Amino acid sequence: MKIFAIFHLNLMFSSIPEESRSEVIKRCYWPLLYLIEEGFPLGIEASGITLEIIRDLDPGWIANFKKLLGKGRTEFIGSGYGQIIGPLVPPALNKANLTLGMQRGKEILDTVPRIALVNEQAWSAGMAAHYLEAGYKAVFMDYDNPARYADWPDHIQHFPQRAKGTNGESIPVIWSRSMVFQKLQRFAHRELELDEYLNYVESLGTADGWLPIYGNDAEIFDFRPRRYKSEAVQEAESEWKLMRQVFKTMQQRGHEFQLPSQVLKGLEHKHGGNELELSSASQPIPVKKQSKYNITRWALSGRDDFQLNSLCRAICHKLEQKFPFSSATEDLWRELCFCWSSDLRTHITEKRYGEALDKLEKLTFASKAAVREPDFQVCGIPPKRQDRMLKLETQNASIILNTAKGLAVQEAAFQSHDNIPAFGTLGHGYFEEIDLGADFFSGHIIMEGPGIPKDTDLARITPLIDETDDFISVSCSIGLYQGMLDKAVRIHKNKEQIDILYRFAMDCRPPGFARIGHITLLTADMDPAQLYYSTCNGGNEERFSLGGLTFDHSDNISFAVSASQGLGMTDSKVVLGGAERALEISPLYAEHGFVGMIKCRQAVPSPFVRVFFSMQEMDETSLRGCGPDPKFNFSTGFSIKPIPGE
């Protein structure tokens, strides 16, 4: 059996204090080089930031690594300058990050990597073009998660394949295996006996294929990042010594260690080189490990990922306009790459989080960036007669609002859609299934968390109607359990566009999840097989068919993990619809770091299809409590525009 391993070095690891970094190099990185010196050809991956830190703290390690690279006994696996979740950041930032990461590898190690490790194994088809443009010949990506939504033959896992991009391009992929590397971790942490581990690994191998026995963090062996109370107890005997023992035993049993680049030979094998879609409608951004470890981890949880990502987006937007990436501006882009590091968004220490905010403040000043918010007023005249349904109409669009449900949209239609209602409410009893026996509104909010009442804006209100040269608007104020919500719905006069606006004023950032801007499609006259959604996840637009599918990106994984999937929306929009008509739904300002979520269910009499936008989710990284600035005052809005049928 042919085996290979890649060890990921990350001195930006969220819960490692800066003062412990030298200890990590000593206890984790040097033993890794010793294994290589003993005859185990292993791959080592590091971001540009990590290489800089090692060079400054322990130049001897860099010198020894370079020596082993020169002898062909190890291989440097590339990354970006920072460990950034590519599908969550704009294309310009992905390009800068990969370019700067390649530069640092050349400068510090005198080498050009052929293979890139996909950060946190977070993939989207839009990333393929970025890796190819940066000069990479292949990527190292998780197999287990893409495979669970695909009908691939078993041999696919044992050979390198090609991951499809968005415009006909593809990039070779060698596989990581989440459960396989977790087994090695368990053995090293004395949760498995040697025979148990070897029996498991050997049950997965093939005569002519490859098995990745490791593809994750190096910092968890002989060191504990102290993220969880349940972390394995560190024994006196070295875990690297146990690693050497199991590697040696594997060699004695005839298993051949190879460098990662040697796996690429399998592209020419009859079972290799197939072009595969790694993403799917149900899982648009696969990541490594189990479902609790999903894209919302770096987008919407942590200390306040939404705020952090929104500010980073605002800075990136300004840099693109005023300081496009070049050799003259790379210092600014390097700082932004640092601030977009995934580790600042999980178990980050308070001190390091504060330092990142200081960097962002300086970048904000340098770029004159700001997270814009829509400015609207709750004003106007109450209708002379207040019925439950209130209709507004222009030559471009019409909308019916439910004043008994906080201005929820009952029906909305556009002129270019022949005034056929495109989105709105599917009332109780519309679906035959009892599981769908509820009202499914549009335009509302849902906030829910442990120990607090569920908050929505579905309350009876008195609407105020205002009219200008540009639009007709209806607004109201709604008392929530956690504070106040101002809300407005406006229909434009001179273009086909409907806006839904929200302003929150709360005593504390809401715990749990906060999802707003729900849009429920009216699908009664639409061909179920032609339904789709599209968005950009770090690169060019990706389109996903919804035909015949049932899934919900907002499905909770456990009581502590509130969602399972999401859309990066790095072009700040989602298109949702079918061959007959579609809608473009987008935040009014591109700086907001919302994550889109799709719910699709095959039902009678027509499919249930909905999109909504999350500004906060919950997992084990979420900071409990109000933080240093308890007030939560935030304004946002979404626009809905029609797209003609195909």
pLDDT digits (tens, 9 = 90+) for 46-93: 999 999 999 999 999 999 999 999 999 999 999 999 999 999 999 999
Q: Is 288 part of any domain? A: no
Look at residue 630 and tell me whether its pLDDT is greater than 70.
no
Both tokens of 228, joined, read 């969880």
Look at residue 488 and tell me whether its pLDDT is greater than 80.
yes
pLDDT at residue 228, rounded to an integer: 42
Range 435-442 contact pairs with CB under 8 angstroms and sequence separation of 24 or more: 436/601, 436/603, 436/608, 439/405, 440/520, 440/608, 440/610, 441/402, 441/405, 441/408, 441/409, 441/518, 441/520, 442/408, 442/409, 442/412, 442/518, 442/519, 442/520
Domains identified in the chain, total number: 2
Q: What is the largest CA-CA distance in the chain?
A: 88
Q: How far apart are CA 588 and CA 608, in angstroms?
A: 26
CATH number at residue 558: 2.70.98.10
Tell me the residue range of the domain where 234 lies. Answer: 2-280
pLDDT at residue 226, rounded to an integer: 55
Average pLDDT of the chain to the nearest whole number: 94
Please give the distance of CA 5 from its chain centroid, rounded to a whole number: 25
- pLDDT tens digits, one per residue of 532-578: 999 999 999 999 999 999 999 999 999 999 999 999 999 999 999 99
Q: Is 238 part of any domain? A: yes
Among the candidates 227, 255, 280, a domain finishes at 280
Q: Is 330 part of any domain? A: no
What is the dihedral sign for C-alpha 232, 237, 240, 244? negative
Q: How far apart are CA 255 and CA 236, in angstroms?
A: 29
Q: Is 382 part of any domain? A: no
pLDDT at residue 628, rounded to an integer: 53
Residues paired with residue 414 on neighbouring β-strands, in sequence order:
397
- pLDDT tens digits, one per residue of 274-317: 999 999 999 999 999 999 999 999 999 999 999 999 999 999 99
- Pair 272, 409 in one domain: no
Q: Are 610 and 520 in contact (CB under 8 A)?
A: yes
- Pair 268, 398 in one domain: no
pLDDT at residue 14, rounded to an integer: 86
Look at residue 349 and tell me whether its pLDDT is greater than 90.
no
Q: Is 302 part of any domain? A: no
pLDDT at residue 230, rounded to an integer: 44
Q: Are 511 and 618 in contact (CB under 8 A)?
A: yes
User: Which range, of 186-195, 234-243, 335-344, 574-583, averages the lowest pLDDT?
Assistant: 234-243
pTM of the predicted protein model = 0.95
Nearest residue to 174 (alpha-carbon basis) of 423, 3, 300: 3
Look at residue 99 and tell me whether its pLDDT is greater than 50.
yes
Q: Is 318 part of any domain? A: no
pLDDT at residue 627, rounded to an integer: 53
Q: Is 364 part of any domain? A: no
Among the candidates 264, 280, 296, a domain finishes at 280
Both tokens of 205, joined, read 């191998």
Q: Is 126 part of any domain? A: yes
- Pair 276, 393 in one domain: no
